[in-house]
Amino acid sequence: MSADLSIELAPRNRRGLRLANPVMTASGTFGYGTEYSELFDIQKLGSIVCKGTTLEPREGNPQPRLVETACGVVNSIGLQNIGVKALVREKAPVWAKWRVPVIVNIAGETVGEYRQLAEALNGVKGVAGLEVNISCPNVKAGGAAFGADPACAAEVTAAVRAASSLPVIVKLTPNTGDITAVARAVADAGADAVSLVNSYKAMVIDIKTRRPSLGSVTGGLSGPAIKPIALAMVYEVASAVGVPVIGCGGISNAHDALEFIMAGASAVQVGSASFLNPRTSLDVLVGIETFMEADGIKSLKEIIGAARK
Ligand SMILES: Cc1cc2nc3c(=O)[nH]c(=O)nc-3n(C[C@H](O)[C@H](O)[C@H](O)COP(=O)(O)O)c2cc1C
């Protein structure tokens, strides 16, 4: 009998969010899924998280928006996306025919915008859940990220929770003093699960032009460079909250993914690694299966949090 890789990511939610396996794609690195469906069988994945979605379409930040750095990449895409109306009209009907559940990542500048996004997506066929990106600047509070402060993060979570019956995953930013305090606050405010981490604030300078390399000066660092730091955060958050944790940050292969799972993650997201090899997420899945088979592990649950026991 083959091993059981399935996982329930929203046990507190009436609808639930059951994944056939723990391998997800990270928002902003896998488009709307459709772009990759010609490259490999994306239906084999546990879940796809789509691009960050805002109320209105966005063109994103000035170029350049992506700079390579040692063991990683710094990006400042600025949430370029088609907007929620076009997503509901054009993308959701395609997803509704898929076996793989699609989660919509939402981003706003005010609590009201997050609420409106949650309302617009509630009950839409093809949308299996929401991932709330709280790394965005809160314009009414001077531009600090919602996710930097437990009270602001809880306010956004409560608004989304009240506006939608869909499973709600809150995606935490590592750019805060105490990520476990934010994780506890959002879990108490009704999050079904938390995902972490988003990218780390970073910059690169072009010494020839003596100017920042990114059009918007700073951006977010992702890729292998952040993996050990993200792993420590996942370990700490998984010990602090009672809801499922989704690990993300520099996952490039099954070994990386298994580290996150043993740190306490119930599922993992593959991000920047898909840029180097679009099939990375599938390779990660196959590698987890191979590891479990070789070690005689019958169920993924046997190894979730193994390093914390
Ligand atoms: C080009 C790019 C675009 C991204 N866009 C989003 C986004 O729209 N919403 C979001 O929550 N995270 C976004 N992220 C963050 C990733 O989902 C992920 O959290 C981060 O890159 C860390 O994972 P990684 O090291 O595996 O890439 C983006 C990352 C990259 C590299």
Backbone angles phi, psi at 182, to 5 degrees: -65, -40
pTM of the model: 0.98
| Ligand 1 center–CA 248 separation, angstroms | 9
| Structural tokens at position 223 | 């890729």
Give the closest residue (by CA) to ligand 1 atom 26. Answer: 271
71 has catalytic annotation: no
Query: Tens digit of pLDDT per residue, the chain (309 long)?
Result: 589 999 999 999 999 999 999 999 999 999 999 999 999 999 999 999 999 999 999 999 999 999 999 999 999 999 999 999 999 999 999 999 999 999 999 999 999 999 999 999 999 999 999 999 999 988 888 888 999 999 999 999 999 999 999 999 999 999 999 999 999 999 999 999 999 999 999 999 999 999 999 999 999 999 999 999 999 999 999 999 999 999 999 999 999 999 999 999 999 999 999 999 999 999 999 999 999 999 999 999 999 999 997
| Structural tokens at position 157 | 């979570």
Enclosing H/E stretch for 41: none
76 vs 81: CA distance, rounded Å: 13
Pocket test for ligand 1, best of 272, 277, 280, 284 (most atoms within 8 A of CB): 272
Pocket test for ligand 1, best of 27, 160, 195, 253 (most atoms within 8 A of CB): 27
DSSP letter string, 71-111: TEEEE-----B--HHHIIIIIHHHHTT-SS-EEEEE--SSH
Q: Are the C-beta atoms of 51 and 28 separated by less than 8 Å?
A: yes
Place of tokens 């170029």: 63
Question: What's the confidence (pLDDT) of residue 157?
Answer: 98
Question: In degrees to the nearest 10, what's the CA dihedral of 241, 262, 253, 67?
Answer: 40
- Tell me how far the alpha carbon of residue 40 is from its chain's centroid: 21
Residue 5 burial by Cβ neighbours in a 10 Å radius (0-12, 13-18, 19+) = buried
Helices (H), the chain: 84-86, 92-95, 111-121, 150-163, 179-188, 227-240, 254-263, 273-276, 280-294
Q: Which residues contact 87 (CB under 8 A, 6 or more apart)?
A: 32, 50, 53, 81, 104
Residue 282: CA atoms inside 13 Å, Cβ hemisphere, count? 13
Strand, helix or coil for residue 50 = coil
| Ligand 1 center–CA 21 separation, angstroms | 21
